[in-house]
Amino acid sequence: MDPTELLEYLAEGLVDDPEQVEVERFEERDGTIVLELAVGADDYGKVIGRGGRTAAALRTVVGAAAASDGQRVVVDIVD
pLDDT at 18: 95
pLDDT at 79 over 90: no
CA atoms within 13 A on the CB side of 68: 8
Of 79, 78, 70, give the one whose Cα is nearest residue 32: 70
Tell me: the pLDDT tens digits for 8-65?
Answer: 999 999 999 999 999 999 999 999 999 999 999 999 999 999 999 999 999 999 999 9
Q: What is the per-residue pLDDT for 36?
A: 97
CB 11 within 8 A of CB 37: yes
Residues in the chain: 79
The domains of the chain, with CATH numbers, are: 3-77 (3.30.300.20)
Model's pTM, two decimal places? 0.93
Which distant-in-sequence residues (6+ apart) come within 8 Å of 20 by Cβ? 38, 39, 40, 43
4 and 35 Cβ atoms separated by less than 8 Å: yes
